[in-house]
Amino acid sequence: MIKIKRVYDEVEKDDGIRILVDRLWPRGLKKDSVKIDKWFKDVAPSDSLRKWFDHEPDKWEEFRRRYLEELRGNPATKELVEIARDHDVTLLFSARDRERNNAVVLREFLEQEIKQKE
């Protein structure tokens, strides 16, 4: 199972492996105060894509398309696919928008990759 939640949300016992998927460390959090098992910053959107999107809802579909394209060519996704295939994971993000953020797209990508490899 692949869950997504804000890094600021409470830790739950069914979170499984908690993976931060942002390129930048979340604002206002100290590294030793957050339960994060892994930080996959290399699977986050490129700086140029992240800055272009700027969490503007009008750009969501184009952001989704571009980010999926980045993920398909990103060798860093291989390890993450393997982890998500074998374990329950929670993808952690810091964006305020729970519906339109990189973790939503990344979960979609991981689910497709796992399904193709079955």
Number of domains in the chain: 1
Contact criterion met (CB below 8 Å) for 96 and 55: yes
- Give the pLDDT confidence of 16-48 residue by residue, as tens digits: 999 999 999 999 999 888 899 999 999 999 999
What whole-number distance in Å separates Cα of residue 12 and Cα of residue 58? Answer: 33
Q: Which domain holds residue 53?
A: 2-116
Q: Global pTM?
A: 0.94
How do strand 17-20 and strand 89-93 relate by DSSP bridges?
parallel
Q: Identify the band that residue 8 occupies on the pLDDT scale cut at 50, 70 and 90.
A: very high
Q: Residue 31's pLDDT is what?
A: 87
pLDDT value of residue 116: 87
Average pLDDT over the chain, rounded to an integer: 95
